[in-house]
Amino acid sequence: MTKRWVAALALAAGLCWCTGALAETPKTARVWTYGNLVTMFSPEWGLFVMPGMRYELSRSEGPEKRHYFDELFVGPLYVRKLGAATLKVGLWYYFMGYPIRAKDDYQWSHNVELVPQIDYRWKDFVFTNRVILHNTFYASVYKPPSQKLGFGMVLREMVQATWWATKDVGILAADEPFIGIAEDSAAPDSAIGYWPRGLRLNRIYGGVSWKIDPSLTLTPQYIYETSYDTRGRVQEVGHYLFTTLSWVVRTY
């Protein structure tokens, strides 16, 4: 009986510690808005363009950042049907811009992403595996010119399941870790520059995909994001509303 009480007390203490640690973790609330246009010139080849903007509504520690991130993706897209599966491969230039309200400043980076993705359809379900190799070549945040030009790589892998409840409405859930796999040897680590190795972020997605018509889709999602420091400790937790409007134009 004594051992059971000791075990119960240890479990209760552990739960209290975890709850307290989570309560002390900085938290943010943000809105992300994106619009993507895919122009298909043939059944297999197209051009992908997607601008995006992020806005911070609140944070538990310090003033909110408000408008804090701009994005632009541009590049070719290859699509190939393989029976019940569809292979998609993108190679995109990716501009990342950082308005810094506290300093009245603006920093940016130039990046290239290789994005292979496979979708597999089974009955009313679509299972997706998407890998992003995010390569950074230039980051303005560094002062010495020799540190601005460099190389860093982050691996992202998203696993997603979508249940198409009707022909126009799908319910989706996904998980996506961000892992630094190559860090620049000359520049110090920076969240808006070259990332360090190891697990940096994890995102859990849940949302709805609504086909407004055959070429136009609206996808609002909730994201629970956890960021980690170089020791693997939770650094920040984010709650985001992520909305994407997608338009596909076929010219053939």
All structural domains of the chain: 27-250 (2.40.160)
Q: What angle do CA 65, 139, 195 make, to 5 degrees?
A: 80
175: left (phi over 0), alpha (psi -120 to 50) or beta: beta
Q: Tell me how crowded residue 1 is: count the other CB atoms within 10 A of its CB.
A: 5
User: Residue 24: its pLDDT value, please?
Assistant: 83
Q: Are 207 and 172 in contact (CB under 8 A)?
A: yes
pTM here?
Answer: 0.89
Cα gap 208→166, rounded to integer Å: 12
Q: Supply the DSSP symbol for 120.
A: E
User: Residue 227: its pLDDT value, please?
Assistant: 98
User: Residue 22: its pLDDT value, please?
Assistant: 53
User: Residue 249: its pLDDT value, please?
Assistant: 98
Q: pLDDT in tens for each of the 252 residues of the chain? A: 444 544 444 444 444 444 444 568 999 999 999 999 999 999 999 999 999 999 999 999 989 999 999 999 999 999 999 999 999 999 999 999 999 988 889 999 999 999 999 999 999 999 999 999 999 999 999 999 999 999 999 999 999 999 999 999 999 999 999 999 999 989 999 999 999 999 999 999 999 999 999 999 999 999 999 999 999 999 999 999 999 999 999 999
User: Residue 23: its pLDDT value, please?
Assistant: 60
